[in-house]
Amino acid sequence: MIKPIAKLIVALNGNVKGSHIAAGFAWGLLLGLVPVGLIWVVLFLLSFLIFKHNHAAKALGLIVVKLLGRLTAVPLDILGWELLHIGALRPAFTVLYNMPLAPFTRFYNTLVAGGLAAGLVLWVPAFLLCRLAVFGYRNTLAPKIRGNKLVKGIKNIPFISSLVKAVAAAKRDM
């Protein structure tokens, strides 16, 4: 668990583009909202094979959203139910359901439909907000943190010192 956090800290304080960190977090949000199944696996593979982003940020976004899963389940279920009961989409859903592999995606499940729709809609705002947060962190917060005496004292705490060592090791690996 320490290694992904260390890699994210290195990315935030290094030369990694803010857009790559933001895209990683947005992918984590999308993957966190979609229940694990065939659609999730396809999205996960697409995120690795096609798109360039920070994987530590994706892991953080995925963990945060999955931890909030109980809070998001009911709204996603309602959204999915509403989407699946749109009359104009019923013929498309019938065609999909009668295709050979499409039913294995469980697109007809209200949580899958709601999670996919919410994740796709929230991807761009999450990307923009995270990009703004990375820019703000790098320009205002990071310089203040580096020179703070309290931070220097906290680095002596055992867990924090192991995190600092992991960050140093992650810097060497990049």
Convert the pLDDT of each residue in 58-89 to its tens digit. Answer: 998 999 999 998 899 999 999 999 999 999 99
Looking at the domain assignment, is residue 121 inside a domain?
yes
Range of the domain at 59: 17-140
Average pLDDT, the chain: 88
Looking at the domain assignment, is residue 9 inside a domain?
no
- HSE value, Cβ hemisphere, 13 Å, CA-based, for 7: 15
Looking at the domain assignment, is residue 5 inside a domain?
no
Looking at the domain assignment, is residue 111 inside a domain?
yes
Number of structural domains found in the chain: 1
Looking at the domain assignment, is residue 133 inside a domain?
yes
Looking at the domain assignment, is residue 82 inside a domain?
yes
Question: Is the CB of residue 11 less than 8 Å from the CB of residue 172?
Answer: no
Looking at the domain assignment, is residue 65 inside a domain?
yes
> Would you say residue 174 has pLDDT above 70?
no
For the question of whether the overall pTM of this predicted structure is more than 0.75, the answer is yes
Tell me the CA distances in angstroms from 142 to 10, 13, 100, 120, one per residue in order. Answer: 12, 8, 52, 31
Looking at the domain assignment, is residue 32 inside a domain?
yes
